[in-house]
Amino acid sequence: MTLPDLSAAPPVTEVEQHGVERIPDAERNAKPLDLFRLTFGGANTFATAFLGSFPILFGLSFWQGLTATVLGLVVGAVILSPMALFGPRNGTNNAVSSSAHLGVHGRIVGSFLSLLTAITFFSISVWSSGDALVGAVDRMTGGTSSIPAYAVAYGVFAVLVLVVCIYGFRFMLLVNKIAVISASALFLLGIVAFGGSFDPGYAGSFADGTASPGFWAAFIGAALIVVANPISFGAFLGDWSRYIPARTPAIRCMGAAFFAQLATLLPFVFGLATASIIAAQAPEFFAGAPNYVGGLLAISPAWYFVPLVLLAVIGGMSTGTTALYGTGLDFSSIFPRLSRVQATVLIGVVSIGLIFLGRFAFDVVQSVSTFASLIITFTAPWMVVMLIGLATRRGWYDPEALQVFNRRQRGGRYWFDHGWNWRGLGAWLVAATLGLLFTNISGQFVGPLGNLVGGIDIGLPLSMTVAAALYLALLALFPEPDGVYGPAGPWLVRSTDRPIPPITSTA
């Protein structure tokens, strides 16, 4: 057997041609470190710092907020890390890999979840970075923000991101290699900028601590917001890990995803600490609709404005590229007649249009943030189905059978009932619906049952728990065919001798 030459990576300026078809072994030149850089780089931004401010916005003290943040990051990283295993095993993205558990047609659920998540986070990235850039420039020059200034900032960010994504994986990896180091250094420089005004004893709104009314709703809500950040990467890890050789030890791939999320403690704590300063010195920025960027600029020393501008540019590029790249890749998987480049250009242009409409015509920035939280409520049970499927299959997949939909074929191991596996689909749909009913995003969205648990948002943990229990129950009651399991057979569940239909062309 000839192993791939890991030193033979193509140049970054060569436009990537691969879509969701299986990456040939000889072209898998990436390493787990590359997965770390892409995952960490995509979250080492202002958008994550803004999420870090939420414990303060919810009334927690600095130390209470830090506890909620660390707890949320660890839990989220544990849930996310196994999602890095599908790419190396199957050489394709996670949406296509989901064919094994939802059916070759049912995998469109993962594709559309990825599509919506990517467009949403691309928009949030451009808006937050553009706002920070314009605000910092105004403070340095004494100017006043105007619609044309915001339009130029958004347009420049969006177009630069689109160009990087058109070139593809290698160019995106280069951008994130730079972003990981430079953005981390700029966040650490914040210690010098804000160290003199930071008070770790900031007490928050709960004078009696855990005995205060509403404390646990605020604490759990803050922790769940942090958990949602790693989960938002679940559908995309395969986009990047599919270039890692299949022989790479699983622990290294999982470790890359896990430690990338733990590393985001840097922007999270930056947001938490600076938010506590804003709450103490400039609370008007948190009255009504929170304006974290405006508050940050208000408390920043003048010399830190340039680093803030650099953070805005770097953050917008790294988050935007990781989001939009996955969008084009998934769209090309839904419509295989479009190449990856064509799909990326099409979705990029549509996304840029939505960014301008949402910011200037309908002012839906806050609504999009809520929409992102709701998408994650639907993505989490999908991830649970994938991970339980990975375990019951003992990590074994048939990469060729996963490509049936993309090749416009029929049959194969994952055909199930006319291309749909109602076991996985049913567990996901029931769990996602229950999660939506019990969601309580205070001040933004409250489901019909969202107030049943004292105002605590249990939508996300409930949807994941129900997905796990229901999927296992359905696999036990309605066994899948022997053919979907590898030579070692199923684990924890049983199978049936139902025959596997041959793969045939629909032409």
Using one digit for the tens of pLDDT, what is the confidence trace for 338-378?
A: 777 888 888 888 888 888 887 777 666 556 667 777 888 89
Share of the chain above pLDDT 90, in %: 46
pLDDT at 6 over 70: no
CA distances from 196 to 193, 199, 200, 305 (A): 8, 8, 11, 17
Highest mean pLDDT, choosing among 166-170, 231-235, 242-246, 363-367: 242-246
Q: What is the pLDDT of residue 74?
A: 96
In this predicted model, what pLDDT tens digit does every residue of 171-230 receive, in sequence order? 888 888 888 899 999 999 999 999 999 999 999 888 787 888 889 888 988 898 899 889
Give the pLDDT confidence of 490-502 residue by residue, as tens digits: 999 999 999 999 9
The amino acid occupying position 311 is L
- Residue 366: predicted pLDDT: 59
Q: What is the pLDDT, as a whole number, of residue 506?
A: 66
The pLDDT assigned to 466 comes to 97
Residue 269 has pLDDT above 70, yes or no: yes
Does residue 442 register a pLDDT over 80? Answer: no
- Residue 290, Cα to own-chain centre: how many angstroms? 23
pLDDT digits (tens, 9 = 90+) for 133-147: 787 778 777 777 678
Least confident of 193-207, 265-279, 318-332, 450-464: 318-332
**29-505: CATH number:** 1.10.4160.10
Sign of CA dihedral 142, 148, 150, 156: negative
pLDDT number for residue 368: 63
**161 is written with which tokens?**
């991101």
Better-predicted residue by pLDDT, 333 or 353: 353
- pLDDT of 159 > 70? The answer is yes
Torsion sign, CA atoms 494, 496, 497, 501: negative
pTM summary value: 0.88
Tell me how far apart the alpha carbons of residues 294 and 303 are, in angstroms, rounded to a whole number: 16
Across 71-75, 80-84, 318-322, 404-408, least confident range: 318-322
Is there a contact between 295 and 282 (Cβ–Cβ < 8 Å)? yes
Q: Cα 393 to chain center, whole Å? A: 25
